[in-house]
Structure formats: structure tokens, C-alpha cells
Structure 1
């Protein structure tokens, strides 16, 4: 049986790798962990996974400030097509207007600030998964 997916999106590879290590350490082999370095790449991954119908993306952890499509626009777009995906924004520099917009238009589960606390990230994902 295919494993559900947690997708992490950030333009800094070191952050993506750190997220993946933390999540894998906590959740082990219960999930597949996908990473994308920008929103466009993330959208391609989402489309591929949805087209294959092999597994479901349960959680997206996305940076806000990225080249091209910013995290708020990305998460709102994802929500319009896939409202059940739990959305978490991880940012060092999001403005409050962007955060409020994602809360209102994309049912943002939580916004965490960089540098994030590993336990807070894990608890955020667990509480998001509990809502599904």
C-alpha cells in the first residue's frame, strides 16, 4: 500500500534537508517525504502524485518568501484544488497581511517562524493530521 506524502517547499536546500531529517526522525517510514525548491516544482510534484492516484499528499510545509510564486499564493492555489491538504507556512519574513490571507483563503493550519523549534513543527504536523 502506498504511503501518504509530506511535501516541504523552500528555496534553501539546507532548510529542506533539515526539515526532511527532522520529519523522518519523528515519523519514520510512515510517510514519503518530498521536497521542492520552489512553488512551481511543488505544483508539478502535486500534479504527478495526484495523477498517479498511488498516494495522497497529507501535509505541505511551505516557505513564504521564494522566487516566483510566494508561499501564500502557492498555498491558496493548492487549497482551491485540494482543500483537504493540511497547510503549514514556515517563514522568517512573511508579512501579517499574507499570513491572514492564507488563513482566510487557504485554511492555513499554522504559521511557524524560522528558526523553528523541531518539537513545535512535529506537534503542528501531528495536530494537522488529526484533523484529516
Structure 2
């Protein structure tokens, strides 16, 4: 039996996007030791991120959509970073407000930004450096 040491968290209000991310991440993330978590509700994601951290599961990175009904991706990333400043965040969006994305990047809160629709290789190029730096 394998021990789950890591997690990757994806947050998007579109279940289809989460499904696509799941297919793609399964190709590059070692699922023997990494839990892949998917959330359509940003508030639920925040709670679960806290739980994972409490359970001593290292979150490798979080992929966040910008345009969501209850909370923008920028708000979610700021809330995550306020509690867990070392977590790596990637934004994946087709409707992001450039002002807010620029502010996240200037505040060093965002590892990278990927536009929807995205190419699998663009996603891999964004997360590969993060994966290479895990313990």
C-alpha cells in the first residue's frame, strides 16, 4: 500500500474543466503518493486545504480558476496565501481580470497564469518546475 504524502488541489466551478485537469494531471503527477483533489466551490476548497495541512499532507500546488460565482480566483489565492504563504498557486482562466492577475504576480502570489482553452504541454511546462522542487 502506498502512503499519500502530497496533494494537488484544483478549484474551478466547471466540472468539465476539473475532469480535463484530472486526465492531464494523471499523466505527470505520481498518484501513488499524491492525492488529486477537485472542488467546484472555493469555500469548500479553502476548508479542505486547511484539513490537508493539518493532516501533514504537503500540497504541491493549487490550480485556481479566476471567474467563479462565490469568490474570484484572486480572492481565493489571497485567502490561501494569508494562511499558507508557501503554497504554490497557478491560475487557469479564460476570463481573468488582468489588473487582479498583475497584482497577484507583483505580490509574488502566483507561480503562473494559463489561459483557457489551454494546451496540455503549456500546463505541464507551468507545473513541471514546481514538481521538480518537491522534497
Runs of 4+ in 1 over 6 A off after TM superposition: none
- The answer to whether the 8 Å contact 1:79/1:106 transfers is no
* Superposition TM-score, scaled by structure 2 size: 0.89
Q: Distance in 1 between matches of 2:121 and 2:28?
A: 9
Q: Distance in 1 between matches of 2:108 and 2:85?
A: 8
* Superposition TM-score, scaled by structure 1 size: 0.91
The answer as to 2:42 corresponding to 1:39 is: yes
Q: Distance in 2 between matches of 1:67 and 1:105?
A: 24
The answer for the alignment partner of 1:83 in structure 2 is 85
Q: Aligned-residue CA RMSD in angstroms?
A: 1.5
Deviation per CA, 1:52-108: give whole Å up to 9, x if none.
Answer: 22x111100000000111100100111121121111000001111010121133521
Among 10, 13, 16, the residue aligned to 1:14: 16
Q: Give 5+ residue unaligned stretches, structure 2.
A: none
Q: How many residues align?
A: 131
